[in-house]
Amino acid sequence: MKKLLGLWLLAVLIMSGCSSVKVHSDYDKAADFSNYKTYEFLGWAEESDKILNDLDKERIQKAFANEFDKRNMEYVESNGDLAVSLFIVVDQKTSVTAYTNHMNMGGWGYGAGWGWYGGYGGIGMGTSTTTYSENDYLEGTLVVDVYDTDTKKMVWQSVGQKTIEENPKNRERNTAYAAEKIMKPFPIEPVK
């Protein structure tokens, strides 16, 4: 089970480019982000990294490091201005769809009339069938927490959610895509 969960979690990190990443973020409005020049990684939140292999952990950290580098922030091993923590969650969900098919089955009728007066009538029958289907899918959530190392307060958080589509051929590219979307609301813009 743990191995299966690991594969599902790996798919979260891939975050295929075909499906969009929903991002929600928040930040401390009192924090002066222009003062932050360096960052360090705190690592993975407890239990989150146990189902990832070292290659995937490194791939994800590299994607986020690239996003911080685009903002002219320098990585340091320790004593950075900001500390970055990563956390992953996978939820199994079910969607239900219904399709109704209507079919008419003949009928009969009569009519008669003279001038403006006339009569008509008819009867018809039909049937309907509704088909329900349930689809199980996985939704992955990747959370990035950023702390001011002096005050030990969180100054920014971004949460990316996406339906998981596993495509191992595009793992590195899709991880970078997800990191870019998750980092887009960061208060420091990438340098062009």
Distance CA 14, CA 138 (A): 13
Q: Does residue 94 or residue 182 have the better pLDDT? A: 182
Which range of residues forms the domain containing residue 31? 2-95+134-183
Lowest mean pLDDT among 17-31, 75-89, 97-111, 151-165: 97-111
Q: Does residue 27 or residue 51 have the better pLDDT? A: 27
Q: Does residue 19 or residue 57 have the better pLDDT? A: 57
Give domain status of residue 13, yes or no: yes
Give domain status of residue 121, yes or no: no
Note the residue count of the chain.
192
Give domain status of residue 78, yes or no: yes
Give domain status of residue 177, yes or no: yes
SS in 3 state form for 101-159?
EEEEEEEEEEEEEECCEEEEEEEEEEEEEEEEEEEEEEEEEEEEEEEECCCCEEEEEEE
Query: pTM for the full model?
Result: 0.68
The predicted-structure confidence for 98-144, as pLDDT tens digits, reads as follows 887 877 665 555 555 555 555 555 555 677 788 888 877 777 788 99
Give domain status of residue 126, yes or no: no
Q: Does residue 68 or residue 6 have the better pLDDT? A: 68
Mean pLDDT of the chain: 79
Give domain status of residue 106, yes or no: no
**Does 13 have pLDDT greater than 70?**
no
Give domain status of residue 21, yes or no: yes
Q: Does residue 164 or residue 129 have the better pLDDT? A: 129
Q: How many helices (H) and strands (E) does the chain have?
A: 3, 6
Could you tell me the CATH number of the domain that includes residue 7?
3.30.160.670
Lowest mean pLDDT among 9-18, 72-81, 117-126, 175-184: 9-18
| Domain total in the chain | 1
Query: What phi, psi does 180 have (nearest 5°)?
Result: -60, -45
Which pLDDT belongs to residue 1?
46
Q: Does residue 165 or residue 60 have the better pLDDT? A: 60
Give domain status of residue 66, yes or no: yes
